[in-house]
Structure 1
Amino acid sequence: MPRTSRVIAASLTAIALACGPTIAAATGELNLYSSRHYDTDERLYSDFTEATGITINRIEGNADELIARMEAEGVNSPADVLLTVDTSRLERAKNAGVLQQIDSAVLETRVPANLQDEDNQWFGFSQRARIIFYDKADVAEPPMSYVDLADPKYAGQVCHRSSTNVYSQTLLAAVIENFGVEAAKSWAQGVVDNFARTPQGGDTDQLRGLVSGECDISISNTYYFARALRKDVSDLSSDIDKIGWVFPAQNAEGAHVNLSGGGVAKHAPNRDNAILFMEYLTSDQAQQYFSAGNDEYPAVPGVAISASVAKLGLFKADTADLSKVAKNVPEAQKIFIDVGWD
C-alpha cells in the first residue's frame, strides 16, 4: 500500500488509539536483539511479559555487531526485533536488509511521520534532543542555534565529540538536510576553527569539560544532563548549576533530535509477537517509562515527561524527516574528512 494511503487509513483509527494500544494476552516468545544498554529497560520488558505472557529472550551488544550478526544468520536468524540508538544505525539496518516493512495502524498513528522510516521498516520510540550547553560564568551570550557555533566570536571555546561518533554524523546530516551540502561544509569548518580541544570523549565528557573549565560551550544529548540532575554523576552533578543550556534554532528549524527506535527483523520467527512488542513501546505506559527510567523525551506527542526531563523543558523539534537525514550520513562523513574534524 502506498505510504500516503497507509497514513490516511491509519488516521481513521486515531481516536481509538489516542491513549495507546491495548496489549492483549498472547503466547510464545520474542527474541530481542538490543544495543540499548540501560538497566532501567528491564521494567519495559517485564511489564510486557506480565501483560502478554510472552517471554523475551535478549541478546545485547554493539549495534553494528548485531546488524552484522543478523546478516550472517540470514534466514536462520532467531531475531524478531532489533532495538538500537540513533537514526543512522536504524537506516544502516534497513540498508543491510535485516528489517522488514510492517503495516501497523498503531505505529503509524502513534509515532509522528518524521520519526519513522518512509517504508515503515523502523520507528522511533524515544527522543534525545542534541542541544547546546555552556558555562554560565564565562558565556554571556551563548549560541542560539547550531549555525552560531561556527561564529568566530566563539573561537577556542567549543568542545565536541569526534567525527566517528554517530551523534556527530547525524547532526551534520541534519545540517545538510536543512541548509545544503556547501553550507554544511562551511559550518563544519567554522566549528572546527572554534574547537577548544581535539574532539574526544562521550557526551558526559563534553559536559564535564564545562565544569573543569576546559571549554565554555559544548553539545550533548539532553538525557545525559537530565541524568546528572536526577542522580549523582561523578565530576558533574556537584557543579551542574554552573551549566546553562539552549534548545537551538527555536525561531527557525528547531532542535535536532536523536532517536532510539527499532524494527521487526527480516526473518522474524515470531512476527506477530514482534509487532505487538513494537506497538507496546508506543503505549503511554512504556513512553512514560522511557522518560522516567532513562531521562528521554517520548516519541509519542502529549505523553507526560519525568521531573528530571521537565527541568530541561519542552522545545520545538526539527521536523526534518529523519529517514532523509539518515541518508545524508555518507556525505557528512566526507565533509568531516575535508574540514579536518578528527
Structure 2
Amino acid sequence: MKFGNARSALAGGALAIAALFTTSALADGVVNIYTYRQPDLIKPVLDAFTAETGIKTEVLFLDKGLEERIQAEGQNSPADVIMTVDIARLTSAKEKGVTQPLVDDEINKLLPAEYRDPEGNWFGVTKRARVIYASKERVKDTAITYAELADPKWKGKICMRSGQHDYNLALFSAAIAHWGPEKTEEWMKGLKANLAKKPDGGDRPQAGAIAAGECDIAIGNTYYVGLMRNNEKDPKEKEWGNAINVLFPTFENGLTHVNISGAALAKNAPNRDNAVKLIRFLASHEAQQVYAEKNYEYPVEPGLEPSETVKAFGELKADTLPLVDIAKGRKAASEMVDRVGLDDGPSS
C-alpha cells in the first residue's frame, strides 16, 4: 500500500492504520518515511536513492503530530525514517523517544559533527539561510541587518509568514541567543510595528506580495527563491522569484542565521537495514548534489558548492551559533511571539 501524500490526523485509529501498513512495512526492498517535509521537495533525492539501490520509498506526509503518531503506533509503527526541517523538530523527535541512536562510521565521515547529534539520534542533511526578500524596484539597500528589520524606515513595508512557524521561531531563537530576551522582545515589537499586514501564507507568497506592491521586503528561506525562479510549470511563481533580490541579513558578528533539514532512524524501524542505507545515501555526495541542484538548498558536505542559481544570490557567511542552542530557545521564542502579538499584525 502506498503512503502517497496522505495527510493524517491523530485519532484512535492510529493503531489500526499502522496494522494496515504492516505488510508493506515488512516487505523486502522498502523503506517507510514519515515526513514533515513536503513530498515534492524530497522526491528528487528519494528517486535517486531508489535508482541506485532498488529500494522503494513509501512516504507519509504529516503537517503536524508526527511524533505523537509514532508514539500511538508503538512497536507496530511502520516508520523507518523520519525526515523533517528545523533543528528544534529534530531534537524534539529525540526527546519524545521516537528515534533510536545510529552510530555509523560512513555517515559520520560524510557529515560534519556540527550537523549531527553526538548520540546519532538525528542527522542534518541540508542547510538553508533565513534571508530578506527585497523588491528589485523599490529597495535600493544592498545590505540589511536583522536588527534593522525593527527600524521605523520600514514601517508598513514588511511581509512575513506566521511568527509561530518553525522557520521564524528558529530565527527568533537565534536572536535570543545573540541579544538576550529583553533586547529581542523590543526588536520583535519594532518588527511588528513595521508589518504591512497580518502574517500569513508561506515564504513564496511573501515574494508574491512584494511583486504585487503590498510590501517592500519579506523574511524567507533561500531555497524557495531558487524553486520560484526555476518553476517552469507556474509562470506566476517565476515572476515572483524574479521580482526580488536576496539580501543576507546578519547579526552583529556579521553572520547569517542558518537552519537544517534532517533525518532520523525511527525507534521501531521494521526495515532498519534499508533505513540505514537511506540515511547513508542522504549524506552521500550524490544526494548532496541532488539537494543542491534540484532543491536549491545548501549542501552540508564540506567544499560542495550550491547550485549556480544559489551562488548568484551572493556569498553566505553562516552563523556559527550551535544548532542545539537555537533549539533550546524555541519555547521562549514561541511565548514571545504570543506576548508581543506578532501574528495579530501591525494594527493591534
TM-score of the two chains, using structure 2 as the length reference: 0.83
C-alpha change, 1:98 and 1:239, in structure 2 (3 Å) is closer
Equivalent residue for 1:210?
210
List aligned pairs for 1:15-30, cutoff 5 A. Answer: 28-30=29-31
Q: Distance in 2 between matches of 1:300 and 1:262?
A: 15
Q: Secondary structure at the match of 2:125?
A: strand
Q: Which residue of 2 aligns with 1:6?
A: none
What are the equivalent positions in structure 2 for 1:121-200 lying under 5 Å apart?
121-141=121-141, 144-200=144-200
CA contact (8 A) 2:70 2:79 kept: yes
C-alpha contact 1:134 1:244 (8 A) present in aligned 2: yes
Instruction: State the 1:336 CA deviation.
Output: 0.6
Range with bigger deviation, 70-79 or 142-151:
142-151
In 2, Cα distance between equivalents of 1:147 and 1:310: 25
Q: Describe the superposition over 1:177-206 as per-residue Cα deviations: whole angstroms up to 9, x where unpaired.
A: 222222221221111111111111110111
Q: Which consecutive residues of structure 1, in runs of 5 or more, have no partner in the other structure?
A: 1-26
Instruction: Tell me the CA shift for residue 164 of structure 1.
Output: 2.4
Letter in 2 for 1:330: K
Once the two structures are TM-superposed, the CA of residue 167 in structure 1 deviates from its matched residue by: 1.1
Specify the SS of the correspondent of 1:314. Answer: coil
Distance 1:334 1:39 in 2: 32
- 1:330 corresponds to: 331
1:71 aligns with 2:67: no
Provide Cα deviations, 1:11-68, integer angstroms capped at 9, x if missing partner.
Answer: xxxxxxxxxxxxxxxx743222223324363342343234334333x13222533322
Equivalent in the alignment of 2:283 = 282
Q: Contact (CA 8 Å) 2:231, 2:237: kept in 1 or not?
A: no
Q: Does the 8 Å CA contact 2:255/2:318 hold for their aligned counterparts?
A: yes
Find the counterpart in structure 2 of residue 247 from structure 1.
248
> Structure 1's 164 and 137: CA in aligned 2 closer, same or farther, altered over 3 A?
same
Q: 1:339 is aligned with what amino acid?
A: V
Match of 2:283, SS state, is coil
Native 8 Å contact 1:36 1:60 kept in 2: no
C-alpha displacement of 1:116: 2.2
Distance 1:50 1:226, change over 3 A: closer
Alpha-carbon contact 1:114-1:320 (below 8 Å) kept: no
Question: Structure 1 residues 188 and 107, CA, compared in 2 at 3 Å: closer, same or farther?
Answer: farther
- Give 3-state SS (helix, strand or coil) of 2:207's partner: helix
SS in structure 2 of the partner of residue 125 of structure 1? strand
Q: Does structure 2 conserve the Cα–Cα contact (< 8 Å) formed by 1:227 and 1:308?
A: no
Query: Does the 8 A contact of 1:116 with 1:322 survive in 2?
Result: no
Task: Please state how far the C-alpha of 1:234 moved relative to its aligned partner.
Answer: 4.5
Q: Secondary structure at the match of 1:259?
A: strand
Distance of aligned partners of 1:229 and 1:43 in 2 relative to their CA distance in 1, 3 Å threshold:
closer
Tell which deviates more after alignment, 219-228 or 297-306.
297-306
Give CA-to-partner distance per residue, 1:81-137, whole Å, 9 cap, x none.
101122222222122110112212233332233322343311111122110111233
RMSD: 2.2
Give the letter aligned to residue 211 of structure 1. A
Q: Does 1:291 align with 2:292?
A: yes
Q: CA deviation at 1:264?
A: 0.4
Partner of 1:163, secondary structure, is coil
Is 2:192–2:342's contact at 8 Å kept on the other side of the alignment? Answer: yes
Please name the residue that 1:316 is paired with. 317
CA gap of 1:235–1:256, structure 2 versus 1, over 3 A, is same
1:322 deviation in Å?
Answer: 1.3
Partner of residue 61, structure 2: 61
Q: Percent identity?
A: 38
Q: Which runs of 5+ in 2 are unaligned?
A: 1-27, 344-348
State how 1:72-111 maps to structure 2 within 5 Å.
72-111=72-111
Is the Cα contact below 8 Å between 1:129 and 1:258 reproduced in 2? yes
Judged with a 3 Å threshold, the aligned counterparts in structure 2 of structure 1 residues 200 and 41 are, in CA distance, closer, same or farther, namely closer
Q: Which residue of 2 aligns with 1:340?
A: 341
Q: How does 1:264-279 map to 2 (within 5 A)?
A: 264-279=265-280
Aligned to 1:12: none
Question: Alpha-carbon deviations, 1:236-288, whole Å to 9, x = none?
Answer: 42364442221112872521123211100111223233222111111111011
Matched residue pairs, number? Answer: 315
What is the aligned partner in structure 2 of residue 18 from structure 1?
none
How far did residue 142 of structure 1 move? 5.5
Alignment CA distance shift 1:253-1:178 (3 Å): farther
Determine if contact 1:162/1:168 at 8 Å carries over to the other structure: yes
The two structures have a TM-score, normalised by structure 1, of 0.85
Q: CA deviation at 1:340?
A: 1.2
- In 1, the alpha carbon distance for the partners of 2:323 and 2:149 equals 22
Answer whether contact 2:143 2:248 (CA < 8 A) is retained: no
CA distance in 2, matches of 1:281, 1:127: 13
